[in-house]
Amino acid sequence: MRNKKNWLLGCALLLFFPLYYMHYSDTEVQDLQTLKNEEANTYQSIFFYLPEEYRETSVGDEIYTNLTEQSSLVNNQRFALWQKDVDHDAFIESGLRVNELRLRLHELDNEGIHPSFVIPKEEIYKEMALLRYYKEHSLPLVPDPFVASNYLPVALESLSGLVFCLLVLLIGSSMYVHDLQRKTIIGIFPVSFMQKLLSKVGIHAMQILLFLVIGLVAGGLYVSFQTGWGSVQSPMLLYTGGDYIAVSTIRYVLYMLLAFMLTALLLLFALALLTLVTKNVYASLFIVILILLVPAGLQFADMHVEWLYPLYMLDIEAILSGNAALALGSETLDYRRALIWLVGMNIVLFVGLFLKNKWSYRNARLPVTESGGSAN
């Protein structure tokens, strides 16, 4: 707790959230009205590329009728947004119907439609999940993207993955330095190895979570003074079971914090086990960092190794957004399985540490004979 390096890293984490807002507030975000105007204009290009004789077939006629209805519904959405009091119900109902029609086009293999105008199924499911959430909770359709409630999840997502893992490793790197340097002094303390291990890992994990939560609150307060708090009920998309669901911002943030905590524990346990085996903190750090770089290396080489998929779960943002599942073509990379895997691996590493300590203690207790063998 008196380690100055850890507090310096903690201060850097605390400052990250308010400082990141300066970059985030400069990003250009298109409003819903502009997006719908652009969407309406694309239908002119879609019809332009359709062959004139296309409607002579039954499939072609259905697709032409489908696209005509889509165009009309998107214009209905534009009209709903133009009104002084936005007609939320009309916008949502039209949007849901448009996406149903787009899914029907996928069933027809989007025959005759130029590939650049085909909307992926993932985008369709995302929009439908958001529209259903807005309908269920009666929320405004055009939230301010720069209020605190919309900024904080983005800030947490930017920390996810390698950045957070390296932060944990840097903070946890000094856990066993004093133990290795002062074996004779540490060894006389009436504290068992597992008690000492749980104390060290627990304190470091709580310290990391404390820095994260205080930084999050500080960033939220800073942004709230600039633009306002917004609504904690604003929707965030969550990938689970091969589909997308919309959840509240507060629920999304809590999911991320839980995943961050489990990831921190996993890395600290892994670092402890490797340090116990190698007796070298720097070697242990090097090995863990190499393992963390494996997913990036596989993606760069365009390789997919299924038994290494769990490593991708350390980047919780990629799991929550469904980017990992989409990139690897595996529906198993969702939040529920990630939590199960993180909890399971923490248990496995803890048991491994317990068994390694028992084995080391047993070998140390066995007397050695003159011939080099163990005495009975």
- Rounded to 5 degrees, φ, ψ at 368 are -105, 130
Contacts of 353 by beta carbon, 8 Å cutoff, 6+ apart: 194, 197, 269, 272, 273, 276
What tens digit of pLDDT does each residue of 126-172 get? Answer: 999 999 999 898 887 766 667 878 888 988 999 998 999 999 998 88
* 305, pLDDT greater than 90: no
pTM of the model: 0.84
Greatest mean pLDDT among 70-74, 113-117, 215-219, 327-331 lies in 70-74
Distance CA 59, CA 51 (A): 13
What tens digit of pLDDT does each residue of 111-128 get? Answer: 888 888 999 999 999 999
200, 179 Cβ separation under 8 angstroms: no
Q: What is the mean pLDDT of residues 257-265?
A: 94
Return the SS3 of 29: coil
DSSP 3-state percent helix, strand, coil across the chain (nearest 5):
75, 5, 25
Angstrom distances, CA of residue 162 to CA of 70, 166, 331, 345: 42, 6, 22, 18
Nearest in space to 9 (alpha carbons), one of 198, 204, 188: 204
Q: Which residues sit opposite 368 in a β-bridge?
A: 374
Nearest in space to 242 (alpha carbons), one of 154, 309, 128, 334: 334
Structure tokens at 27: 């990003």
Structure tokens at 178: 């004093």
Locate tokens 């002084």: which residue? Answer: 84
Distance CA 177, CA 134 (A): 53
* Beta strand extents in the chain (DSSP E only): 235-240, 243-248
- State residue 144's pLDDT score: 65
Distance CA 9, CA 17 (A): 14
147, 230 Cβ separation under 8 angstroms: yes
* 205, pLDDT greater than 50: yes
Q: How many CA atoms lie within 13 A of 344 on its CB side?
A: 8
Please provide the DSSP assignment of 147-172 as one string.
Answer: SHHHHHHHHHHHHTTHHHHHHHHHHH
